[in-house]
Structure 1
Amino acid sequence: MPAPGTPLEQLGFLTIGTFDPADPGPGHETTLRVVELGERLGFDSAWLRHRHLQYGISSPVAVLAALTQRTSRIALGTAVTPLAWENPLRLAEDLATVDVLSGGRLNPGVSVGPPMRWDDVREALYPDTAEVEDFSYTRVERLLRLVAGERASTFAGREGVVEEFSDRVQPHSPGLRARLWYGGASLRSAQWAGQAGMNFLTSSVVKAEGDPADFAAIQAEQVQAFRAANPAGRVSQGLVVIPTDTATADQQARYAAYVEARTPRTRSPQGPARLLFARDLLGTSERIAEALYAHAGFREVTEVVFALPFSFADEDYRQILTDTAERLGPRLGWSPRG
């Protein structure tokens, strides 16, 4: 998106789907209703963030299966599923099943690397194989091959009277391979995703590789590197965006406090990995649109997935999504889908 006047083609949103551990049902139902609202508002896509051993959605695939029966048009994605927690063959079966149920609307996003808090979970996750598990790009490549329909077994045919076996993942969803995304934060990941023929999700976190640590410039460089490796691939940018056009005074105060608490981490790279966080964008749709058009990363894309804040209430999400669809989106040249 080089300048105002070039329309934003795809507008999506991302939610973590928080819930009360003492009563998790209502929180999961809220997530379903938020996505239903997104479809009514004309969003192109809705994405679920994956959270293991936390009070957010631990099984996006299961929630997305439910959403296939409560929506009819909106694309459904994960941003992202960490493959370190998954068996690629089993995940390929789940993804293909949900894609079939959705009528070809699934956009799975994945990432690699050791599980978060690896030393704390390794005995529960891989009690016998922790030392030999491969958390590299090879794990993604296995998933890609299985989703594409390459052989998963050396046997195909009938056994006994009724059992018929396939040598590839079933069901097979032919278009799913082209809708797989890689969520990356480094230049190497962007290049690898392009070379692997995947789409690329870039979020509000990047690795500060070199100086100066300018988030927007780093993100733009990663998008450019991906496109150089895969010119036909799709790229989506993710930032936390909170329009306040119709927010009440109480909502505006809470939103401002949320952003203020998160701002210090955006001033310099964090931790040994030198992770750099983007500033949350808070304000009227007019102000946010101006900030986006000034953002080097945003100017490189025509698709976005704006992240909903983690800990807000249901009515806050309704206000934010409605303002995004009805006010911010049109300022970016986007039109809702019918």
Structure 2
Amino acid sequence: MTSRTLQLGFLTFVPNDGGPEGAGQSLHDGIRLFELAEELGYHSGWVRVRHFEPFLASPMTFLAAVSQRTERIRLGTGVIPARYEDPIRLAEDASTVDLLSGGRVELGLSAGIGQLAPILDPVFGVSERPFSAEAQHRIERLRAALAGETIAHSGTGFMSVPADTNLTLSPRSPGLADRVWYGPGSVASARRTGEQGLDLHVSTLNTEETGDPFDVRQAEQIRAYREAFAHSPFGERRSGRVAVGRIVIPVLNEADAEAHNGFITAYNARMHPDGRPHDRTLPMRFSPLHTGTPEQIIESLRADAALPEIDSLIITLPAPGGAEAHQRILRVIAEDIAPHLGWTPHR
């Protein structure tokens, strides 16, 4: 698989399935998923961030709760749409959770989903900058705050704010500035991520269509990132980290099939077998599913051209299926699949 020590993580939407117990139960189910993953030796757990959808919308609040129920597992956001975040407030929240967790936060960011801009822009009050430029502007402010740079000057001060003082982030968790990730979808954005000294978290979607297979193009993105990072000022003191998301669904019995066949059918129906969407106006390509028996999944992942380039394999859980089905996916992967890919549990 890889000459590096492979780390294993998972990503969840923390879905609210509309059941009788509602959203509160879904949050508790999400916390239990992190607890189980830690017991199984997963290195990291990540949460999707969605506004006005039946999924998690407040990642730092959720991860603060997870931090008090776990000890080792890394706590990641995969990813926060930076276009819709106040960078200083996010820096305050992320630093607070990092301090609560003992330095376990992995802060993943992205520009956001452009197709949602007509809905979200009026709600969150973005500026007149173009879509990606606004996100980049906010990410720069966030990183400056995390690094301890001056945010504002206190002027005459007031109450416990001292006069004539350069104000910096408070509370600040010093190590968090080196644990900021970006989720690109193209070679150009991956290269920019490396130049900026951010870690790389690529997902199950490429936002460019070049005619190449999904995994081949993503491997090119990773190589472009690593080259850019190595030649950046940041490359003098550390190596950039790469995490890759893959949808892995073991189907070993009728219960597994009942839980996941609906999702598998719907996912595949959106695209051609090579991952190109049926809507030819969309310049993107989706990752194939890795599903079947453990042996079939191992063979499928070993054939993935991007995986030899990575540090962390992130298991992207399907949104539907239910808490028990998601727990089973994590368990089967940890016990029957990941050890054959070079992974050893994190204890």
Q: Is the 8 A contact 1:112 1:139 kept in 2?
A: no
Identify which range, 49-58 or 229-238, moves more after superposition: 229-238
Counterparts in 2 of 1:315 and 1:69: CA distance versus 1, 3 Å: same
Deviation per CA, 1:159-216: give whole Å up to 9, x if none. Answer: 44x4457611111111101110001111111001100000000110002342x24101
> Gaps (5+ residues) in structure 2?
231-238
| Equivalenced residues, count | 329
Q: Which amino acid aligns with 1:256?
A: N
Q: Structure 2 residue aligned with 1:10, among 7, 16, 19? A: 7
> What residue in structure 2 maps to residue 291 of structure 1?
300
Counterparts in 2 of 1:336 and 1:81: CA distance versus 1, 3 Å: same
> What residue in structure 2 maps to residue 258 of structure 1?
263
> What residue in structure 1 maps to residue 286 of structure 2?
277
Q: Which amino acid aligns with 1:9?
A: L
Secondary structure of the equivalent of 1:197? coil
**In 2, Cα distance between the equivalents of 1:259 and 1:93?**
39
Secondary structure of the equivalent of 2:344? coil
Q: Is the 8 A contact 2:205 2:285 kept in 1?
A: yes
Q: Is the 8 A contact 2:80 2:112 kept in 1?
A: no
> What residue in structure 2 maps to residue 55 of structure 1?
54
Q: Is the 8 A contact 1:256 1:282 kept in 2?
A: no
**In 1, Cα distance between the equivalents of 2:152 and 2:50?**
31
Counterparts in 2 of 1:117 and 1:158: CA distance versus 1, 3 Å: closer
Deviation per CA, 1:4-43: give whole Å up to 9, x if none. Answer: xx46521000000011457211111100111111111110
Offset of residue 121 of structure 1: 3.3
TM-score under structure 2 length normalisation: 0.89
Q: Is the 8 A contact 1:7 1:334 kept in 2?
A: no
Counterparts in 2 of 1:259 and 1:324: CA distance versus 1, 3 Å: same
Counterparts in 2 of 1:330 and 1:113: CA distance versus 1, 3 Å: closer
Counterparts in 2 of 1:124 and 1:257: CA distance versus 1, 3 Å: closer
Identify which range, 189-198 or 248-257, moves more after superposition: 248-257
Counterparts in 2 of 1:281 and 1:69: CA distance versus 1, 3 Å: same
Q: Which amino acid aligns with 1:49?
A: R
TM-score under structure 1 length normalisation: 0.91
> What residue in structure 1 maps to residue 183 of structure 2?
183
Residue 322 (structure 2) pairs with residue 301 (structure 1) = no
Equivalent residue runs for 1:13-24 within 5 Å: 13-20=10-17, 23-24=22-23
Counterparts in 2 of 1:331 and 1:156: CA distance versus 1, 3 Å: farther
**In 1, Cα distance between the equivalents of 2:344 and 2:155?**
48
Secondary structure of the equivalent of 2:174? coil
Offset of residue 284 of structure 1: 1.8
Deviation per CA, 1:131-155: give whole Å up to 9, x if none. Answer: 3585242221121111111110122
Q: Structure 2 residue aligned with 1:131, among 128, 131, 135? A: 128
**In 1, Cα distance between the equivalents of 2:44 and 2:199?**
15
Offset of residue 156 of structure 1: 8.0
Identify which range, 186-195 or 268-277, moves more after superposition: 268-277
**In 1, Cα distance between the equivalents of 2:54 and 2:287?**
24
> Gaps (5+ residues) in structure 1?
none
Q: Is the 8 A contact 1:82 1:115 kept in 2?
A: no
> What residue in structure 2 maps to residue 335 of structure 1?
344
Q: Structure 2 residue aligned with 1:243, among 250, 267, 283? A: 250
Q: Is the 8 A contact 1:99 1:176 kept in 2?
A: yes
Across the aligned residues of Structure 1 and Structure 2, the Cα RMSD in angstroms comes to 2.1
**In 2, Cα distance between the equivalents of 1:209 and 1:118?**
22
Residue 151 (structure 2) pairs with residue 144 (structure 1) = no
Equivalent residue runs for 1:20-59 within 5 Å: 20=17, 23-59=22-58
Q: Is the 8 A contact 2:185 2:208 kept in 1?
A: no
Counterparts in 2 of 1:93 and 1:263: CA distance versus 1, 3 Å: same
Q: Which amino acid aligns with 1:233?
A: G
Q: Is the 8 A contact 1:88 1:143 kept in 2?
A: yes
Offset of residue 266 of structure 1: 3.9
Offset of residue 104 of structure 1: 0.3
